């Protein structure tokens, strides 16, 4: 049964912490089994990947041919193609603005020391696009476009299919983003394959993209040997703040829209109106019956869903910041009073028409966002994710002679005499 909490209850904070932690622990359990899979792929390469593909996806094909890809794309509905084209255009424009805001720094001080700070694109990235139960062409766009704008030369896509067949829309989106390397693989074994390389797969520098708890766990496991996003990407979450002016039918549909992703997805409702909470609950029960993915959505809501009654504006802000949701909807009349006080969220939709689903597709913002409270310290996917920053230093003779003695003092203090001597030798040199 869906949990209902009241902020005025004596043990409210403890109860909320317990519920949030319970879900986190479920997600963490996934890491136990992925370690063995990753080691297997490191040792046995393509053979291990095929083994897991046969087991989980009934697939024995690692890389589809260009003929298979083009044939699949040719069958795609033109209406879907146009929808992808529109989304591509809007997402590209927004991320292009991000790149334009990135400016290299060049500074020369009074001693004629020159310091520079330059942005350099990564050389290769792998984009994980979920696809075992549903297909997400939108995730292709959200991952690939920022990489494309950043200037990444090699962009590959890993996308699990069923029996070696990948979704036509996913393939079209990949083609639209100029992705030429496509692998019909998924799960922890796919993550290991692109992280360490096999005979058929050349390893990459970074892996990005959302996935289920096992994919998220696998990415954490390979981190250090390869880069990943500075966040936890998946399973999905939404927190909605509503009031008596909200439409319960709309709010319920927004919650269900997130719940249908994954049984570990989390949907939280916060309202100052008990009546609104009751109405939303009724609508959830009603709308679930009409949903094709009803089993997934119902399990998600029953196991991880929380309805919270809070009358205090300050408490609402505190609770939202504690939850640190992936998606936040401020479906309230006076959202301007609190929006600037929300510090922890991947994205914030304000107003009754700013529905999360729009941000998932073609508004232009990115939908690959920090989950599992990682919005406390990280952000969603952007152009920044695909560039690195390099410092360039040119020190003048006057610079080392003026600043060097202080460096020698500090280096000797820290016991690093080799550091000190490397400076001393240059100062003494005539």
For 292, other C-beta atoms within 10 Å of its C-beta total 9
Examine domains 3-28+234-367 and 45-233+383-387 and report if their fold is the same.
yes
Q: Which of 53, 260, 326, 329 is catalytic?
A: 326
pLDDT tops 80 at residue 9? yes
* Alpha helix (H) residue ranges in 60-108: 66-74, 78-100
Least trusted range by pLDDT, from 157-166, 228-237, 312-321: 228-237
CATH 3.40.50.1980 matches 3-28+234-367: yes
Residue percentage of the chain with pLDDT more than 70: 97
pLDDT for 236: 86
pLDDT tops 70 at residue 197? yes
Active site residue 327: yes
d(CA 246, CA 215): 36
Beta bridge partners of 358: none
pLDDT in tens, 52-96: 999 988 888 899 999 999 999 999 999 999 999 999 999 999 999
Burial class of 199 by CB neighbour count within 10 A (0 to 12, 13 to 18, 19+): exposed
d(CA 208, CA 232): 10
Question: Phi and psi (nearest 5°) for 55?
Answer: -70, -45
Q: Which residue has the tokens 């000797």?
A: 412
Name which of 270, 375, 366, 390 is nearest 321 in CA terms: 375
**CATH code for residues 45-233+383-387:** 3.40.50.1980
Distance, CA of 86 to chain centre: 22
Maximal CA-CA distance, the chain: 86
Confidence at 31, pLDDT banded by 50, 70, 90: low
Q: Which residues contact 70 (CB under 8 A, 6 or more apart)?
A: none
Confidence at 29, pLDDT banded by 50, 70, 90: low
Q: Which of 237, 327, 329, 367 is catalytic?
A: 327
pLDDT for 162: 73
pTM: 0.89
Three-state DSSP state, 218: helix
Residue ranges per domain, the chain? Answer: 3-28+234-367, 45-233+383-387, 402-428
pLDDT in tens, 208-236: 998 877 888 899 899 999 999 877 666 78
pLDDT tops 80 at residue 198? yes
Two structure tokens written together for 308: 């919270």
Strands 237-242 and 266-271: what pairing? parallel
pLDDT in tens, 138-160: 999 999 999 999 999 999 999 98
pLDDT for 30: 55
* Alpha helix (H) residue ranges in 289-414: 294-304, 313-323, 356-359, 397-413
pLDDT for 94: 96
Active site residue 367: no
Question: Phi and psi (nearest 5°) for 328?
Answer: -130, 130
d(CA 403, CA 401): 6
pLDDT for 251: 96
């Amino acid at each position: 049964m869906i949990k209902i909490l009241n902020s005025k209850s004596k043990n409210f904070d403890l109860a909320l912490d317990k519920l949030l932690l319970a879900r986190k622990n479920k997600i963490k359990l996934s890491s136990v089994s992925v370690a063995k899979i990753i080691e297997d792929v490191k040792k046995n390469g393509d053979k291990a990947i095929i083994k897991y593909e046969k087991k989980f996806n009934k697939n024995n094909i690692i890389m589809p041919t260009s003929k298979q890809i083009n044939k699949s794309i040719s069958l795609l509905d033109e209406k879907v193609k146009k929808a992808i084209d529109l989304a591509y255009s809007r997402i590209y424009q927004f991320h292009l603005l991000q790149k334009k805001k990135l400016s290299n720094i060049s500074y020369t001080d009074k001693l004629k020391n020159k310091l520079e700070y330059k942005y350099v694109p990564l050389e290769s990235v792998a984009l994980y696009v979920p696809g075992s139960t549903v297909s997400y062409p939108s995730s292709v766009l959200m991952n690939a476009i920022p990489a494309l704008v950043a200037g990444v030369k090699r962009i590959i896509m890993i996308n699990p299919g069923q029996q070696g067949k990948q979704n036509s829309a996913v393939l079209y989106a990949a083609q639209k983003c100029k992705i030429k390397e496509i692998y019909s693989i998924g799960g922890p074994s796919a993550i290991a394959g692109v992280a360490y390389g096999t005979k058929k797969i050349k390893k990459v520098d970074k892996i990005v993209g959302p996935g289920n708890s096992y994919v998220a766990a696998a990415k954490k496991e390979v981190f250090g040997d390869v880069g990943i996003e500075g966040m936890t990407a998946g399973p999905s979450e939404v927190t909605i703040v509503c009031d008596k002016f909200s439409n319960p039918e709309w709010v319920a549909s927004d919650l269900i829209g997130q719940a249908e992703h994954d049984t570990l997805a989390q949907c939280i409702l916060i309202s100052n109106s008990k009546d609104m909470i009751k109405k939303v609950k009724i609508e959830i029960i009603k709308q679930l019956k009409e949903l094709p993915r009803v089993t997934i959505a119902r399990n998600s809501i029953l196991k991880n869903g929380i309805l919270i009654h809070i009358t205090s504006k300050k408490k609402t802000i505190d609770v939202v910041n504690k939850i640190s949701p992936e998606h936040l909807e401020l479906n309230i009349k006076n959202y301007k009073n609190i929006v600037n006080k929300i510090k922890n969220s991947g994205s914030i939709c304000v107003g009754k028409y700013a529905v999360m689903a729009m941000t998932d597709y073609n508004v232009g913002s990115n939908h690959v966002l920090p989950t599992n409270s990682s919005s406390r310290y990280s952000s969603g996917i952007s152009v920044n994710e695909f560039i690195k920053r390099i410092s360039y230093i040119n020190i003048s003779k006057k610079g080392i002679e003026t600043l060097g003695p202080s460096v020698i003092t500090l280096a000797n203090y820290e016991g690093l005499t080799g550091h000190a001597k490397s400076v001393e030798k240059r100062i003494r040199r005539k």
